[in-house]
Structure 1
């Protein structure tokens, strides 16, 4: 197929291939194809569809298919719960599939989930008949490869990213054109607590380290502390605006990476338009399949891999909850354990879990035991470094009692005595620790 002979249809025409009972994949984050989503929902409003399963990772922008009125029409079974669908999941009108981010692509490739229709966004085709998935490769590439029908929105605002993001137009069945700007992600400025956490994390990062960081203010606070570092690399599931100044100053150059030397590797992006502009036609950035970026054994090939991820709650033995507390679902398993496992096996690597010591309401996030129903994402067997605003402690190789003592030292001072008492009750009278 050349760039001259593809036929464009309207979004309404394109989504006619969706049938009741189908499984539909949406490209993620900034690349959610809103014009196709709206057209699909219009068919739902008209009573033309029922029992359509919607799958995706984190998405930005509206997610109308999760609304209560579509119960029985659309079933949201996402691989990650973003802010735009969280209330619907908590209310039971939507759901999610707990799975390691690295394995989301296997759901399609190994046939656990049938992909009937993949709805994606791509950049305009080049002279060789290739388009780019831009900011969303993740599990989207697997969906494209296995779908019965692929609908692509050709959008001039999708960056022409390299790596496995580049696909031939022959993989696409239906073309739509729409130039709606990509959805930007908005991050709040780090608080004073988050800045302290960022400082403690930065002190653990060595020159030549290869970085993975999750989503939010803490990663940006960490990156802001790295201006005097040298030869840092990026192998991550996502990155945002915080890396750009470090690339421009030469701090991030990938010179010490074990694989993809000199390249920044990611599978999806969340950020401002500056990030999308940065990856456009940039050979320094490889947008890769999530089975590549989040493979723990590939991650471990980069020396000094340093993975920094957040949590909702940690108990005094080092069990990490990062997806749900009781009936409240906040995100999903994501890529945390992929990188914790990979970083811990990297030569000189560090796996770090970082979070504020208390919630916004002053409740300790370090708890005697996890809340009932809390999901354990990183087990205490995988736990290495833990960071709050009060410092960093390494739990690796420590006994349960030693872990409790270390975790209490980085808890909020107002809660240390209660945690010490809980540890005493759990471990018996031989547990002795004087709170400072």
Structure 2
């Protein structure tokens, strides 16, 4: 029965694109769930559109519609989180890419309200796993950060069925009756190579691991420092997972017995996440795994939800921290480098948790030691990702600074103590010049 409904709604990618209104906003999935069939082909139909706005997040590939100046004025990519492809287009001076400031748990509401207020038609072009013929349900791809919310608000729903996309449990089900059209496009789900930590990152990780107690619920980001932390948690007991991003290291911790989710306050027995990005091994492990629950990012990243997990530990990385404790994680000066993502969400949730900890980690220097990442003041135009009144722990390879509740002069002294020794006297001198310390 459901296969017949499916066949009635099946269209080619060209037919589906040409069915879109001339002025339209199309939202695709995040990262490895981005609809490659749509994104790779939409530029071919430039003349069909008066104004096409595509909303993406953490683009994994370069696509012609935002790489080429000829599409300016007709096509634009608004992104919730810059990645190398979108960053490159922006730095090349193209008007086809722009950044959307956001807290990630609000991405599926704030921007869509703005689009609706402009009177634009909203289309969800979502990537899904193949339909279960016995019940007619698809599973969203490996991201539910904003996708289900967009699906629920969209004026039109087009599903891009990828036979290589894992089937995931949680708030991921979409029924064939809820789709206006279906297209088929088989593509390999993008992977993200594991980053081996440096010696410096391993030192930072040891400080962080010492802050994680048995029975904690963890949120770990991605990169050298988080990977190093995960390796040092294999001797912990009864850890749980409530995280924006499910990472490769969590599988290792599950398989060695460190993660079992038995002591979680919220969703006991389940690893809760909003999206995943990693290796083919990870995608195979996640496929039809009822122990991992992909829930709406609006819920997973809500600080008030996160705070319901006792002993919540949020571990994120930063580009720089000033002596007041203001954290910059997404920009280098005025240059948008990545995005706020869920960093502030998870940090705030952790510090509101009973016995929780919000941890910001960074190397003490950048550019081969030429720049101190602990600084008196951030460069002009820099974006603050975690305000000073939220910051909790800051960790470098030289130690831990617990800033929560500390006065300004106390913060200055603590942060200087974990700065690279080559910059401590300079920082102290500059702090005195502007009156941070006397």
* TM-score bucket (shorter structure): over 0.9
Contact 2:21 2:121 in 1 (8 A): no
Map of 1:107 onto structure 2: 110
Unmatched 5+ residue regions in structure 1?
Answer: 432-436
Tell me the alpha carbon deviations over residues 228-265 of structure 1, each in whole angstroms, 9 at most, x when there is no partner. 00011111110211111111122111111111101011
Map of 1:19 onto structure 2: 21
1:354 equivalent to 2:364? Answer no
1:416 equivalent to 2:424? Answer yes
Secondary structure (helix, strand or coil) at the match of 2:263 reads: coil
Map of 1:60 onto structure 2: 60
Classify 1:21/1:91 alpha carbon distance in 2 versus 1 (closer, same or farther; 3 Å).
farther
Secondary structure (helix, strand or coil) at the match of 1:152 reads: strand
1:405 Cα deviation (Å)?
0.5
Map of 2:389 onto structure 1: 381
Q: How does 1:24-173 map to 2 (within 5 A)?
A: 24-44=26-46, 47-69=47-69, 70-93=71-94, 94-107=97-110, 110=113, 112-113=115-116, 116-126=122-132, 127-173=134-180
Tell me the alpha carbon deviations over residues 109-157 of structure 1, each in whole angstroms, 9 at most, x when there is no partner. 6465556221111111112111101301111111111112211111121
Contact 1:10 1:176 in 2 (8 A): yes
1:248 equivalent to 2:255? Answer yes
Classify 1:108/1:332 alpha carbon distance in 2 versus 1 (closer, same or farther; 3 Å).
closer
1:343 Cα deviation (Å)?
0.2
Q: Find the aligned partners of 1:92 and 1:343 in 2 and give their Cα distance.
A: 38
Classify 1:106/1:402 alpha carbon distance in 2 versus 1 (closer, same or farther; 3 Å).
same
Q: Find the aligned partners of 1:233 and 1:89 in 2 and give their Cα distance.
A: 39
Tell me the alpha carbon deviations over residues 345-396 of structure 1, each in whole angstroms, 9 at most, x when there is no partner. 1111000000111113421111110110000110000011001111111001
Q: Find the aligned partners of 1:95 and 1:312 in 2 and give their Cα distance.
A: 21
Q: Find the aligned partners of 2:243 and 2:63 in 1 and give their Cα distance.
A: 26
- The counterpart of 1:282, out of the listed 262, 276, 289, is 289
- The counterpart of 1:333, out of the listed 332, 340, 345, is 340
Q: Find the aligned partners of 2:397 and 2:136 in 1 and give their Cα distance.
A: 51
How many residues of Structure 1 are paired with residues of Structure 2 in the alignment?
428
Q: Find the aligned partners of 2:391 and 2:151 in 1 and give their Cα distance.
A: 36
Map of 1:434 onto structure 2: none
Q: Which runs of 4+ in 1 moved over 6 A?
A: none
Tell me the alpha carbon deviations over residues 179-201 of structure 1, each in whole angstroms, 9 at most, x when there is no partner. 21111112321111111111111
Query: In terms of mean alpha carbon deviation, does 174-183 or 371-380 score higher?
Result: 174-183
1:339 Cα deviation (Å)?
0.8
Query: In terms of mean alpha carbon deviation, does 153-162 or 61-70 score higher?
Result: 61-70
Query: In terms of mean alpha carbon deviation, does 35-44 or 308-317 score higher?
Result: 35-44
Classify 1:63/1:195 alpha carbon distance in 2 versus 1 (closer, same or farther; 3 Å).
farther
Map of 2:321 onto structure 1: 314
Contact 1:145 1:171 in 2 (8 A): no
- The counterpart of 1:404, out of the listed 408, 412, 418, is 412
Contact 1:31 1:135 in 2 (8 A): yes
Contact 1:89 1:96 in 2 (8 A): no
1:96 Cα deviation (Å)?
0.8
1:204 equivalent to 2:211? Answer yes
1:390 equivalent to 2:377? Answer no
CA RMSD of aligned residues (A): 1.6
Tell me the alpha carbon deviations over residues 260-313 of structure 1, each in whole angstroms, 9 at most, x when there is no partner. 101011111110111111111111000011111001111011111000111111
1:73 Cα deviation (Å)?
2.1
Q: Find the aligned partners of 1:324 and 1:108 in 2 and give their Cα distance.
A: 21
Contact 2:334 2:383 in 1 (8 A): no
Q: Find the aligned partners of 1:258 and 1:59 in 2 and give their Cα distance.
A: 34
Tell me the alpha carbon deviations over residues 5-25 of structure 1, each in whole angstroms, 9 at most, x when there is no partner. 313221111111233331110
Contact 1:233 1:254 in 2 (8 A): yes
Contact 2:234 2:253 in 1 (8 A): yes
Q: Find the aligned partners of 2:3 and 2:111 in 1 and give their Cα distance.
A: 29
1:271 equivalent to 2:272? Answer no
1:325 Cα deviation (Å)?
2.4
Q: Find the aligned partners of 1:194 and 1:310 in 2 and give their Cα distance.
A: 11
Q: TM-score, normalised by structure 1?
A: 0.94
Contact 2:115 2:122 in 1 (8 A): no
